[in-house]
Chain A
Amino acid sequence: MSILPQLAFVLILGVAGFILSKRIQFLRRNILLGKAETRNDQPENRWKAMFLVALGQQKMFKRWVPAFLHLLIYVGFLVINLEVLEFVLDGLLGTHRLFAPLLGGVYTVAINVFEFLAVAVLVSCVAFLVRRNVMKVERFTKPELKGWAALDANLILVIEIILMFAILTMNATDQILAGRGDAHYLVLGPLFFSSFLQPLFESLSTGALVALERVAWWFHIVGILAFAVYVTYSKHLHIFLAFPNTWYSNLKPKGEMVNMPEVTQEVNMMLGIPTETPAEAPAEIGRFGAKDINDLSWVNVLNAYSCTECGRCTSECPANLTGKKLSPRKIMMDVRDRAEEVGKSIDVGGPGLADGKSLLGDYISKEEINACTSCNGCVEACPINIDPLSIILQMRRYVAMEESGTPAQWNSMFQNMETSFSPWKFSPSDRFNWSEKVKEEEIK
C-alpha cells in the first residue's frame, strides 16, 4: 500500500486546521471589538440555560414543524460526527473501518443508526429547501434575506444533502466490494438504507467500485473539513456559537434596561447627593449609547455572530408585522456585517472603525430603531436567546444624548417631564384630583 494517501490526508488536515485557527482568531477579535462586560454571575443558571436552550433546543419547539426537522439535522450532525473520528483515524493510519473488528456486531448497528440519521438529515434538508424556495414561508422572503443570505442558506442545505449522499454511496460500494471477497473490505451485517443504493452500482467493475468508494470517502471527509471552514463565513456559525451565546444569556428580567453609572454620577452631582465614587472625571469619557459596534457590548456582537437568520424574531415583531422598516433580524445581520467590515479593514492595515462609516447611519437607520415598542417579542422568540432589543435601546441612547436627534414628539414629552414631572402637560398639583370622586361617593 502506498503511503501517499496518508500523506495527502495529513496535509489536508493540516491545511484545514490552519485555516480554521486563523478564522477563529479573526472571529474572536471581531467579537471583542465590543466593549468589555462581565457576565459570569449565577454559573449554575448559565449552564442550565445552555443545557436547555442550546443543547436541548427548548425554544425551538415553540414551532413544532421546523423544530422537528431541525432536531433531525441536529442529532444527525452530532452523531454522524462520531463516525468522523473513525474517518480521521483511518485517514491517518491508512486503515479501513478501524473500529469494525473492535466493535463487532455493535459496529453494524452503529452504521445503521448513522445511515438512518443520514436519511433523516437528507429528508429534512429537502423539506427546508422546499419551505424556503417553494412554499416561500414569509419570514424567509423579507428584504434582508435577499442575495448572499438566501444563497448561504440554500448552499448549506445542498452541501449537507451531498455529504449525506456521499456516506450512503460509500457504504453501498464498500459492501458490494466486501461481498466480492476483496480482503481490504469487511463484510458487515446488513445495512438497511445503503442497500437500496447497491443495485445502482452492482454492474460496475471492481476497479470502478474501489474508485467510487474512495471518491465518496474523500469527498465526505474533505467535504466536512471544507464545510467547517465555510461555516465561519456563514450564518451557520450558530452550530458552535449557540452554546456560548446561551451561556452568556441575559438572566435578568427582560424588562430591565442596563443602568448607566456614568449618568448616575452626574445626576447625583446635579441634585447635590453625595456619591461613593470620587467626583473627578474619569480619564476618558466614552460615548453615551451606541453608534458603532465598539460601543456595544461584546455579548451583542457575539449575538450577531450566533444569529442564524431564522427570522422568528422578525415574524413576532409588532412593528415589522404592521409594515414598518424595523426587522430585529436585520439589526443582528447589520451588526455582524459591520463587525466583518471593520475586522477585514484592520487586517489589511486599513482604518478599521475610523473608516468614516458607522453601524447607526450606514447600516441601521433611525426610522428602524424609532419603530421599536420594546415589547421583547423578538427576545422571547429567539431560539438561542439573542437580544436585538438591547442593541436598539443603546442606539436610541446615542441618538438622544449625543445627537439630540429624537423625534420632535419625544422632545415635547421630555420637556413635559422636565417641567411638570409627567409625560403629559399637567400640573403636578393636580395629581391627587382623582380622589375627589371617591371621597364624594363615600360621603354618600
Chain B
Amino acid sequence: MAEMAANSQTPEVLFWVGCAGSFDERYKAVTQAFVKILNKVGVSFAVLGPEEACTGDPARRAGNEFLFQMQAVANIQVMNGYAVKKVVTACPHCFNTIKNEYPALGGNYEVIHHSEFLQQLINEGKVTLQGGGEFKGKKITFHDSCYLGRANGVYDAPREVIKALDVELVEMKRCRTKGLCCGAGGAQMFKEPEAGKKDINIERTEEALATGASTIAVGCPFCLTMMTDGVKNKNREADVQVVDLAELLAKDMGI
C-alpha cells in the first residue's frame, strides 16, 4: 500500500490479509491462492503488509476492550491515512470487526468477505473456470463460519462459488443458520477448551465426515485449523482434505 501511495496510485480494493493469513504456515497458502486469483483477473489491489495489525477481535471477545480499541484505532488511522474505501478479507472475524465495529471508532469502509468477492468475479465472468480439474464430480461439503453466517447473514456466496465448480455440494445435518461452530470463535482459538466430554471441532468434523464428502470447504482461517485438526484426529487426512474457497477456485483455474 505504502508503495502505491508513494506513486500516487489508488488501488480499487485493500486486501486485509489478517494475522493467520500472514503467519499461519498452512493458511498462508490461502492468502497466496487469493492473491493469485486477484493477479490473474487483474484486480487492482494493495495490502498493508507490516502496517497491518490484528483487528483486535480476539481481545474484544475475551473481554479486553482497551486492547481491542488500541488495535482498532491504530488500524483505522492507517486505513484512513490511505483513504481506503473498500476492503476485502478472507477472515470472517476480520470481516465482521472492520465492517460492523470499526464504524463506531471512525472507520467507515465497504467491507466484503472473499467469498462474496469471488462470487462477484464468477458472476461477472472474470474468472475462467476449467471445469473441475481434480475436484470434478467430487462431493464437497461447506462448513458455515459463525462470523460469516449467523453474524452477518452470508450463506449463499460461498455455496455459489462451490456450485460454479463442477462438483456435488452436499450439506451437513447442521448448516446455514443452524451451522455448528468449529469451536474457535470468541477467542477460543487461543486457549484450551473448558472441561467437557468432547472437543467441539471433533463433533463438527464427525458431521462433515458423515456427508461422505472428500473435501471440506471453509471460508475462515480458524475453521480451517479446527477442521484440519479434526480430520487428523479421525485419521482421515489421507482421503479427506480441508480447503479454503480461494484454494478451490485457484486450483480449478489452474493457477
Contacts and interface: CB of A to CB of B under 8 A. Distances in A.
B199 A435 contact: no
A410 B151 contact: no
B32 A434 contact: yes
Contacts of B67: 414, 417-418
Contacts of B181: 318, 373, 375, 377
B185 A373 contact: yes
B129 to A, nearest CB: 20
B64 to A, nearest CB: 5
A372 B62 CA distance: 10
Given A255-B96, A324-B194, A397 B65 contact: yes
B73 A432 contact: no
B240 interface: no
Contacts of A131: none
B153 interface: yes
A409 B186 contact: no
A356 interface: no
A373 B186 contact: yes
A429 interface: yes
A267 B61 contact: no
B52 A431 contact: yes
A257 B187 CA distance: 14
Contacts of A376: 146, 150-151
A413 interface: yes
Interface string A240-273: 0000000000001111110110011011101101
A125 B168 CA distance: 44
Most chain B CB within 10 A, of A322, A380, A424, is at: A322
B180 interface: yes
A322 B203 contact: yes
Contacts of B19: 422-424, 426
A401 B63 contact: yes
A321 interface: yes
B47 interface: yes
B66 A438 contact: no
Contacts of B17: 431, 434
B86 interface: no
A365 B57 CA distance: 23
Interface string A389-431: 0000100111111000011011011100110011110101111
Interface in A204-258: 252-257
A422 B55 CA distance: 9
B151 A434 contact: no
Interface stretch (B21-29, B116-124, B208-216): B21-29
Tell me whether chain B's interface is mostly helix, strand or loop, or mixed: helix
A138 to B, nearest CB: 14
Interface in A165-194: none
Contact of A401 (B64, B100, B105): B64
A367 B147 CA distance: 23
A413 B62 contact: yes
A428 B53 contact: yes
A442 to B, nearest CB: 7
B11 to A, nearest CB: 15
A165 B53 CA distance: 67
Contact of A399 (B63, B66, B69): B63
B185 A256 contact: no
B136 interface: no
Contacts of A400: 62-65
A410 B190 contact: yes
Contact of A323 (B61, B63, B197): B197
B198 A435 contact: no
A361 B215 CA distance: 44
Contact of B151 (A253, A326, A399): A253
A425 to B, nearest CB: 9
Given A324-B196, A400-B65, 7 more contacts: A289-B65, A325-B195, A370-B194, A375-B150, A413-B191, A417-B71, A423-B19
Interface of A: 62, 252-257, 259-260, 263-264, 266-268, 270-271, 273, 288-289, 316, 318-319, 321-326, 367, 370-377, 379-380, 393, 396-401, 406-407, 409-410, 412-414, 417-418, 421-424, 426, 428-435, 437-438, 441-442
Interface of B: 17, 19, 21-23, 28, 31-32, 35-36, 39, 47, 49-50, 52-54, 56, 58-67, 69-71, 73-74, 77, 96, 99-101, 104-105, 146-147, 150-153, 177-178, 180-181, 183-200, 203-204
30 contacts: A253-B153, A255-B147, A259-B105, A263-B65, A268-B73, A271-B73, A319-B194, A321-B180, A322-B197, A323-B198, A324-B196, A325-B194, A372-B186, A374-B146, A374-B187, A393-B63, A397-B63, A401-B65, A406-B62, A410-B187, A410-B191, A413-B191, A414-B62, A417-B56, A417-B59, A421-B71, A421-B74, A422-B22, A426-B22, A431-B23
